[in-house]
Amino acid sequence: MSGAGHRGGGVTDFSTYLGPEDTLAGRPAEGGIVGRSGLASGTGKVDGPPKVTGAAVYTADLRLPRMAHAKLLRSPHAHARILAIDAAEALAMPGVLAVLTGADLPGRHGPIPVARDETALAVDKVRYRGEPVACVAAVDEATAREALARVRVDYEPLPAVFTLDEALDPGSPAIHEHLARKAARTGRSPNVLRRVHQSFGDPDAGFAEADLVMEESYFYPGSTHVPLEPHAALAAPEPGGRLRVWTSTQNPHSVHRTIAAVLGLDPAAVRLTKPEVGGGYGGKCDTFVTELCASALALRLGRPVRLALEREEVFYAHRGRHPTRMRVKMGLKADGRITALELEALANGGAYASYGVVTAYYLGVFGTLPYRLDHYRFTATRVYTNLPPCGPKRGHGAIQPRFAIELHLDRMAHALGLDPAEVRLRNAVEPNTVTVNGLRVTSVGLRECVERVVEASGYRDKRGRLGPGRGVGLAASAYMSGALHPTYANEGPHSMVQVKVDRSGRVTILSGTADIGQGSNHMLATVVAERLGIEPADCTVVEADTDLTPVDLGSYSSRVTFMAGNAALQAAERVRKRLVSAVSAELGCDPADLVLRGRRVFVRDEPDRGVDWRRAIALAEAEAGALGAMGSYRPPRIGNRFRRQSVGPSPAYSFTAQVAEVSVDLETGEVRVEHVWCAHDLGRVLHPEIAAGQIEGCVYMGVGEALLEEQAYRDGLLRAPSLLEYRVPTVHETPAIHPILVESHDPEGPFGAKEVGEGPQLGTVPAIAAAIHDATGAWLTAPPYTPDKVLAALRRRGVR
Amino acid sequence: MSDPTRPGGSPPEPPRSRGPGRGPASEVVASFLVNGEAVRALVPATRTLLEFLRDELGLTGTKHGCDLGDCGACTVLVDGVPRLACLTLVAELEGAAVTTVEGLAADGRLSPIQDALDRHGAAQCGYCTPGIAVNLTALLAEEPHPDDAAIREVLGSNICRCTGYTRILDAAREVAGGGQ
Q: What would the 3-class secondary structure string for A534-602 be?
A: CCHHHEEEEECECCCCCCECCCCCCCHHHHHHHHHHHHHHHHHHHHHHHHHHHHCCCHHHEEEECCEEE
| A111 pLDDT above the threshold of 90 | yes
Q: Does A6 touch chain B (CB under 8 A)?
A: no
The residues spanned by each domain of chain A are: 47-56+493-633, 60-158+231-317, 398-404+415-485+644-796
Identify which of B16, B18, B65 has the shortest CB distance to residue A311.
B65
Please report which confidence band the pLDDT of residue B9 belongs to, taking 50, 70 and 90 as the band edges.
very low
Evaluate whether B27-103 and B112-176 have a shared fold. Answer: no
Residue A701 has, within 13 A of its CA and on its CB side, a CA count of 32
Q: Are A324 and A380 in contact (CB under 8 A)?
A: no
Q: Searching chain A, which residue's CA lies closest to the CA of residue B13?
A: A94
| Mutate which: A34, A36, A39, A53, vs B, most B CBs within 10 A | A53
At residue B171, the pLDDT reads 97
Tens of pLDDT along A586-599?
A: 999 999 999 999 99
Q: CA A119, CA A105: separation in Å to the nearest integer?
A: 7
A37 pLDDT more than 90: no
Which of B61, B125, B133 is facing A55, going by the closest CB pair?
Answer: B61
Which residues of chain B neighbour A39 with C-beta distances below 8 Å? 119-120
Please judge whether B129 and A52 are an interchain contact, meaning their C-beta atoms are less than 8 angstroms apart.
yes
* Residues B112-176, CATH architecture: Orthogonal Bundle (1.10)
Sign of CA dihedral A256, A257, A260, A266: positive
Taking 50 as the threshold, does the pLDDT of residue B4 lie above it? Answer: no
CATH architecture of B27-103: Roll (3.10)
Residues of B in contact with A225 (CB under 8 A): 161
Q: Is the pLDDT of residue A462 over 60?
A: yes
pLDDT band at A798 (very low <50, low <70, confident <90, very high): confident
**Touching B: A residues 160-219, CB under 8 Å:** none
Of the candidates B70, B125, B156, the beta carbon closest to that of A731 is on B156
| The predicted structure's pLDDT at residue A108 | 97
Kindly identify which residue of chain B lies nearest to residue A281, measuring between CA atoms: B162
Q: Specify the pLDDT at position A521.
A: 96
ipTM of this predicted structure: 0.93
Residues facing A717 on adjacent strands: A714
Of B17, B61, B163, the CB nearest to A54: B61
Give the tens place of pLDDT for each residue, B114-150. 999 999 999 999 999 999 999 999 999 999 999 999 9
pLDDT tens-place string over residues A256-283: 999 999 999 999 999 999 999 999 999 9
- If you average pLDDT over every residue of chain A, what do you get? 93
Residues of chain A with Cβ-Cβ distance to B2 below 8 Å are: 94
pLDDT tens per residue across span A409-453? 999 999 999 999 999 999 999 999 999 999 999 999 999 999 999
CA gap A72, A120 in Å, rounded: 11
Mean pLDDT over residues A396-410, rounded?
Answer: 98
Give B58's contacts in chain A (Cβ within 8 Å).
63
pLDDT(A10) > 90: no
CB contact under 8 A, A517 and B73: no
- Quote the pLDDT of residue B2: 37
User: What percent of chain A has a predicted confidence (pLDDT) above 90?
Assistant: 90
Peptide bond into A370 cis (omega under 30): yes
A96 to chain B, closest Cα gap in Å: 8
pLDDT of A191 reads 97
Q: Which residues pair with A310 in a beta bridge?
A: none
The β-bridge partners of A739 are A678
> Which DSSP letter does residue A479 get?
E
pLDDT tens-digit profile of A707-741? 999 999 999 999 999 999 999 999 999 999 999 99
Instruction: Report pLDDT for A1.
Output: 35
Could you say which of A45, A142, A723 has the minimum Cβ distance to residue B19?
A142
- Describe chain B by its helix, strand, coil percentages, rounded to 5: 30, 15, 50
A9 touches chain B (CB under 8 A): no
Taking CB atoms and an 8 Å limit, are B119 and A42 in contact across chains?
yes
Nearest neighbour of B70 by CB, restricted to A56, A57, A723: A723
Of the listed ranges A38-42, A308-312, A752-756, the one predicted with least confidence: A38-42
Q: Domain residues of chain B, as ranges?
A: 27-103, 112-176
| Nearest chain A Cα distance for residue B160, angstroms | 7
pLDDT digits (tens, 9 = 90+) for A152-197: 999 999 999 999 999 999 999 999 999 998 888 889 999 999 999 9
| Average pLDDT for A60-71 | 98
- B38-64 average pLDDT score: 97
Q: What is the pLDDT of residue A756?
A: 97
Would A60-158+231-317 and A398-404+415-485+644-796 be classified into the same CATH topology? no
Among all residues of chain B, which has the CA nearest to that of A758?
B162
Which one is the CATH code of A398-404+415-485+644-796: 3.40.50.720, 3.40.50.11720, 3.40.50.970, 3.30.365.10? 3.30.365.10
The whole-number pLDDT of residue B106 equals 87
Give the dihedral of Cα atoms B156, B161, B165, B166; nearest 10 deg: 160
Segment (H or E) for A759: none
What value does the mean pLDDT take over residues A242-252? 98
pLDDT for the residue A799: 67
Confidence label for B25 from pLDDT (cuts 50, 70 and 90): low
**A405: Cα within 13 Å, side-chain hemisphere:** 33
* Residue A700 CB neighbours (<10 A): 25
- CA A508 to CA A542: how far, in whole Å? 7
Chain B residues in contact with A701 by the CB 8 A cut-off are: 161
Q: Which of A73, A96, A228, A522 to mutate to test the interface with B (most CBs of B within 10 A)?
A: A228
Interface with chain A: mutation pick from B18, B102, B125, highest number of A CBs within 10 Å: B125
pLDDT, residue A43, reads: 56
- State how far the Cα of A550 lies from the Cα of A509, in Å rounded to an integer: 10
Ramachandran region of residue B47, left (φ > 0), alpha (ψ -120 to 50) or beta? Answer: beta
A300 touches chain B (CB under 8 A): yes
Distance from CA of A49 to the nearest CA of B (A): 6
Which of A394, A676, A731 should one mutate to test binding to chain B, selecting the residue with the greatest count of B CBs within 10 A?
A731
Give contacts of B100 with chain A, Cβ < 8 Å: 54
User: What pLDDT is stored for residue A41 in this prediction?
Assistant: 28
Average pLDDT for A356-379: 97
Region A377-382: mean pLDDT is: 98
Q: Quick one: pLDDT at residue A271?
A: 98
Most B CBs within 10 Å: which of A41, A46, A51, A518, as the mutation test of the B interface?
A: A51
Between A367-376, A632-641, A790-799, B109-118, the lowest mean confidence (pLDDT) is in: A632-641
> Which range has the worst mean pLDDT, A40-49, A601-610, B157-166?
A40-49
- Residue B140: DSSP 8-state: H
CATH level 3 topology of A47-56+493-633: Aldehyde Oxidoreductase; domain 4 (3.30.365)
Of A52, A92, A722, the CB nearest to B133: A52
Tell me which chain B residue has its CA closest to the CA of residue A227.
B161
**Average of per-residue pLDDT across A29-56:** 58
- CATH assignment, A60-158+231-317: 3.90.1170.50
Report pLDDT for A163.
Answer: 98
- Residues in B closer than 8 angstroms to A95, CB to CB, are 1, 16
Cβ pair B125:A229 closer than 8 A:
yes
- Which residue of A lies nearest to B128 if distances are taken between CA atoms? A228
Residue B39 has pLDDT above 70, yes or no: yes
Q: How confident is the model at residue A800 (pLDDT cuts 50, 70, 90)?
A: low
pLDDT reported for residue A18:
28
Cα–Cα distance between A187 and A513 in angstroms, integer?
A: 45
Number of inter-chain CB pairs under 8 A, A vs B: 213
The band of A236, judged by pLDDT with boundaries at 50, 70 and 90, is very high
Taking contacts as CB-CB distances below 8 angstroms, the residues of chain A near B160 are 228
> Helix, strand, or coil here: A119?
coil
Q: Is A279–B161 a contact, with Cβ atoms under 8 angstroms apart?
A: yes
Per-residue pLDDT tens digits for A615-642: 999 999 999 999 999 999 999 988 667 7
| Range with the poorest average pLDDT among A12-16, A239-243, A566-570 | A12-16
- Residue A769 clears pLDDT 90, i.e. is over it: yes
Residue of A382, A388, A352 lying closest to A115 (CA atoms) = A352
Judging contacts by C-beta atoms under 8 Å, the chain B residues touching residue A736 are 166
